[in-house]
Structure 1
Amino acid sequence: MGKFSRLGNDLYTGRKSIDFVGRKWLWYAISGVIVLLAVLGLSVKGLDMGIEFVGGAEYKVRVAPGEATQDLADQVRSSVADTGIPAAQQPIVTTSGSGSSNSIIVQVKPVTTAESKQIIGVITDETGTTQADIQTTDIGPSWGKEIAKRSAIGLVVFLVLVVLFIWAYFREWKMSVAALVALAHDIVITIGVYALSGFEVTPATVTGLLTILGFSLYDTVVVFDKVRENTKNLRESRLSYSEAANLAVNQTLVRSINTSIVALIPVAAILYVGAVQLGASTLKDLALALFVGMIAGVYSSIFIATPLVVQLKANETAVQQAERRAVQRRKQLEADRYAAVPVFSDDMPVQDEPGEDDDLEDAPVSGGPAVVREPRPTEAMGRGRIAPTPTRPVQESPSAGRQQPTRQPKSKRGRK
């Protein structure tokens, strides 16, 4: 962790830098390939909509008191899924009631009359009941359509509020456009993963999609806020807009990684429990949307949103002037490499005096022999030129003993 902390400090101060903005076409290409795979998955395989959206059949089985346990529900789920009926591959089996009104509820997608009789036979064999104990109900898709309608309305309202918030906070509509592109990027990838994985789309999936919008926006706003801070005074800054924005991404990189890891650990645990241990469960639907969306959100806020903002602002006059000043400054430094010596200021980092670390390196460690190392050459600023080695020792000048002229005050000048 010490090396990771030092890396974060170096990224924040600018000693080390990852060129996120300069390699924007590489990140665009990677995102394009992922989005293309997601779109192909949607067009070829499609989404497996749940019972709440397409309707289906519900079987309510009355069992003896105390027998409506989760173990029995798991056995019924496995038996119904093993029937080979396409509409019953992912049945929803839950327990209901207490006391003498215990029951097990089995929900499947729309089935034919013959398939329904086959499912009822499997349920009676597994639970030890009769057909008289099973109540069959058809579920219409009207509730699912209402959920989809309300979800679409909520999504549109959310996007409108996002645009207004970013425009009002940053006073920059181009940041709003970049944020919307990042959100669309995250949504398409998450839905594509659902299509490719074959997970069923349930109301919990819709909840997860709306949740990752907020997570992705939060991470993007944090990066944008640092970009605004670094580019506030471009005239006084030594960096161009792209360099200042790239520095902002590096400064928030460690924070984004740490936040994502902390958030992904419990989501991954929920995904494992819901998909592996509980089988078909609403937990896995919610956890998959959160897991994929969080990863995509961190990626888009770093690799998509900020480079897109820089690209959109490239034609602004202030940005172009800052770019020309930065180019001219680099040319001056290349012409005179030793002109980059920093001026002393009170907030400069404290470093060891030359020679102090050499004494420590040559000292014996734990009673062992002293390790003698070659003295490190003095490096010049710029491209790393090495100062030439002196050919002879410095000697005292013969004029050192002469009396040096002194400058008299103005009141005594011209007087003899």
Structure 2
Amino acid sequence: MSRLGNLGARLYRGEVGYDFIGHRKLWYGVSILITITAIVGLVVRGLNMGIEFEGGAVFTTPKTTASVEQTVHSAEKISGHTAIVQELGDGGMRVQIAGVDTKTSSAVKEQLAEELKVNPEKIDAQLVGPSWGEQIANKAWQGLGIFMVLVVIYLAIAFEWRMALAALIALIHDLTITVGVYSLVGFEVTPGTVIGLLTILGYSLYDTVVVFDGLREGSKNVTKQTKFTYSEIANRSINSTLVRSINTTVVALLPVAGLLFIGGGLLGGGMLNDIALSLFVGLAAGAYSSIFIATPLVADFKEREPQMKALAKRVRAKRAKAEEREGHDSDGPQDGDGPGGEDDGGTRPRITVQDGNGNGAGAGAGVSGQRRQEPPRNRGGRGRPSGKRR
């Protein structure tokens, strides 16, 4: 078995583990800091909305000798609006200009072909109206709202409302971080971005539901035992699925990273960047929130219940008694002290075991039950003579 597999087996059996629940305040602080950073970036910088949401034109040119900087300068000089230029794999350019309508698109196309020294007939022009982008945004918000409502209802029925609430908070956490990264990086928000955001919702819930399922199984009849508190059972559930969560997350991130860094970065995949970035950030944030946010929140919610408070009190009392007993046993009875000694007030009789010579040996508190006394051995003529009497 590999080291990772051996570690996973030991985590599953509870032989080793990390106290995620005990350090939950640290993880809460880290998550709050990241979320605040994302919100500040979103407020200050905003989102770079694509023409699908703002309206404009996209011109795709054939292979040209002009650089990206020259193309940006020419497009902005011709249109009077900000232009976004991306070099394509075949040497052509994708020029995106917001604010260009049907009346001015033909003139912009002709002048752009002249500046880039290409045939205007080979430039592909696509016009997008702002109303279409508004419809996409509204549909996306509707889909997001319906999805979250259904998720909360399902988790409340399959598990309980506390787990549903914790999963909802983790989802909002993941979405906020992903949108904040888009704002800080400056990637363009396109319909591909919306598709990616909706896709990560399922991924971010996957690990959360796996941990919740283990927690539900481990917490059955939890109040009928005094060995673990609810938080400790929740921590064991996280540790038992930790390696599984890491493996599934890494396997899912590898192809997405290929899309983002190779397909989008090296090959200039265009929309691949929009989808891959949201998937990459969302998958990483979902794995983080399922371990460090969702399950600790459930433990916090449950520990506020009176029966869980009573359970924690009983567990602490039992452990205190066990520690006291171990400390007493490690000290051991001293001469003249403790049970069976001279100073115990005669509350427990001193047990004496006779040996063959008639000498007595006092037994301490560890002696229990009856002892069989062996008869004296024959010592070669001593005592009563052997043989027949005359």
Which TM-score applies when normalising by structure 2? 0.76
Give the distance between the partners of 1:80 and 1:47, measured in 2 at CA.
23
Shift of 1:93: 6.9
Q: Deviations over 1:169-208 (max 9, x none)?
A: 01x1111110000000000000000000000001010011
What residue is the counterpart of 2:130 in the other structure? Answer: 141
CA distance in 2, matches of 1:74, 1:211: 39
> Conserved in 1, the CA contact under 8 Å of 2:226 and 2:315?
no
- In the TM superposition, what are the counterparts of 1:62-73 in structure 2 within 5 Å? 72=63
Match of 1:322 in 2: 311
Which residue matches 1:399? 355
**RMSD between aligned residues:** 3.3
Name the counterpart of 1:51: 51
1:80 paired residue number: 71
Q: Is the 8 Å Cα contact of residues 90 and 280 (structure 1) preserved in structure 2? A: no
Q: Structure 1 residues 40, 136: closer, same or farther in 2, change over 3 A?
A: same
Q: Would you say 1:129 and 2:119 are equivalent positions?
A: yes
Match of residue 20 from structure 1: 20
For residues 283-333 of structure 1, give each alpha carbon's deviation from its aligned partner in whole angstroms, at most 9, with x where no partner exists.
011000000000100110100001111111122132122211211121122
The answer on whether the counterparts of 1:182 and 1:305 sit within 8 Å (CA) in structure 2 is yes
CA gap of 1:250–1:124, structure 2 versus 1, over 3 A, is same
SS at match of 1:193: helix
CA separation of 1:263 and 1:329: change in aligned 2, threshold 3 A = same
Taking the aligned partners of 1:233 and 1:28, their CA distance within structure 2 comes to 29
CA distance in 2, matches of 1:401, 1:90: 108
Residues in 1 aligned to 2:119 and 2:309: alpha-carbon distance in whole angstroms: 79
Greater displacement, 318-327 / 183-192? 318-327
Equivalent in the alignment of 1:279: 268
Query: What do the CA deviations read for 1:145-167 (whole angstroms, capped 9, x no partner)?
Result: 11111111111110011011101
Corresponding residue for 2:158?
169
User: In the alignment, which of 141, 149, 167 is matched to residue 152 of structure 1?
Assistant: 141
Q: CA deviation at 1:124?
A: 3.7
1:89 partner SS: strand
Given candidates 164, 181, 202, the residue that maps to 1:214 is 202
**Could you report, residue by residue, the CA deviation over 1:246-300 in whole angstroms, capped at 9, with x for unpaired residues?**
1101111111001000000000000012332233600011000000000100110
Structure 2 vs 1, CA of residues 125 and 233 (structure 1 numbering), >3 Å: closer, same or farther? same
| Contact 1:80/1:91, CA 8 A, preserved across alignment | no
Instruction: Supply the distance in 2 between the matched residues of 1:301 and 1:313 (Cα, whole angstroms).
Output: 17
Task: Quote how far apart the aligned CAs of 1:23 are.
Answer: 1.1
Moved more, 252-261 or 329-338: 329-338
**Structure 2 Cα separation of the partners of residues 10 and 141 of structure 1:** 57
Letter in 2 for 1:43: V
Instruction: Give the Cα–Cα distance (whole angstroms) in 2 for the partners of residues 338 and 303 of structure 1.
Output: 36
Q: Write the letter of the residue equivalent to 2:84.
A: Q
The CA distance in 2 between the partners of 1:138 and 1:204, in whole Å, is 18
How many residue pairs were aligned? Answer: 333
Residue 121 of structure 1 aligns with an amino acid whose one-letter code is: Q
Please identify the structure whose Cα radius of gyration is greater.
2
> Does 1:290 find its partner at 2:279?
yes
- For the residue of structure 2 that corresponds to 1:312, the secondary structure is helix
Question: Percent of aligned pairs with the same residue?
Answer: 43
Q: Which runs of 5+ in 1 are unaligned?
A: 62-67, 96-102, 341-379, 381-396, 407-416
Q: Distance in 2 between matches of 1:294 and 1:213?
A: 9
Counting only pairs closer than 5 Å after superposition, residues 5-44 of structure 1 correspond to structure 2 as 5-44=5-44
Question: How many angstroms apart in 1 are the aligned matches of 2:83 and 2:35?
Answer: 31
Structure 2 portions without partners, runs of 5+: 331-352, 359-370, 375-390
**Alignment-mate amino acid for residue 71 of structure 2:** V
